[in-house]
Amino acid sequence: MARDFLNKCEHYKNICADVRLMLSDAVLQERRIRVEVRPINTDAVCDSHAWPQAARHVNWDWEQIRRKLFTYGPRTLGLAFYAGYPGKPRLCGLAAAQVSPHARWLSLTHLESSPEPRHPLKGLVLPMAMLGLSLFKTQVSTEETAKRIGLRVLNPLPDALDCYCRSGYTGLVREKNLSYIVVQPPAEA
């Protein structure tokens, strides 16, 4: 039983690595920007501490988020976006996502862009994160099951709603204990 879990974790780890490579390639093709997409690891967390703290729009604890991603294992995706000069890329954004318990949603749970006014990926972190989620969804599911998994931004911060709307993500849904923006609705089974 434990061996099966470890094999599954290794399988998903490889899928996440493939998604990060595909995402880097897609951004290079579409935007002509070289982006390194890495996992959210301790290096990425340390790099986020170099961001000007007073200018941050959110105060996510990325170390805690990183641990949560690790704990939840194969049902998660962490993306750290690096860009800049060759040999000296800098962290421009972080995104975390997870699959809902019944595999109905792949949810963007946390997103933060560097508060630096002129970082190389300004305005691109959200679209890159959503593309990453879409790629992850297609990699972890069959063509048929992929249709039944929706994409959403889970519990978007009120201050970020304008940014999501400008990016074309509208339709805020409020339920009892959560709110979310539907990016791509799941097909009914």
At residue 72, what is the residue type? Answer: Y
Number of domains in the chain: 1
CA geometry: angle 24, 182, 146, nearest 5 deg: 60
Q: Who's near 167: CB < 8 A, 6+ residues apart?
A: 126, 127
Tell me whether residue 17 is in a domain.
Answer: yes
Tell me how far apart the alpha carbons of residues 111 and 156 are, in angstroms, rounded to a whole number.
Answer: 9
**First-residue to last-residue Cα distance in the chain:** 30
Q: Can you give the pLDDT at residue 3?
A: 66
Tell me whether residue 189 is in a domain.
Answer: no
Sheet containing 105-113: which strands, arranged edge to edge? 36-38, 76-85, 88-99, 105-113, 150-154, 179-184, 172-174
Tell me whether residue 12 is in a domain.
Answer: yes
Tell me how far apart the alpha carbons of residues 26 and 31 are, in angstroms, rounded to a whole number.
Answer: 8
Tell me whether residue 62 is in a domain.
Answer: yes
84: left (phi over 0), alpha (psi -120 to 50) or beta: left
Tell me whether residue 164 is in a domain.
Answer: yes
CATH number at residue 123: 3.40.630.30
Would you give per-residue pLDDT tens digits along the chain (189 residues)? 556 656 677 888 889 999 999 999 999 999 898 999 999 999 999 999 999 888 888 888 999 999 988 887 778 999 999 998 777 899 999 999 999 888 889 999 999 999 988 888 988 999 999 999 999 999 988 777 778 888 999 888 887 888 787 877 777 888 888 888 888 888 875
Domain of 56, in residue numbers: 2-184
Q: Can you give the pLDDT at residue 177?
A: 85
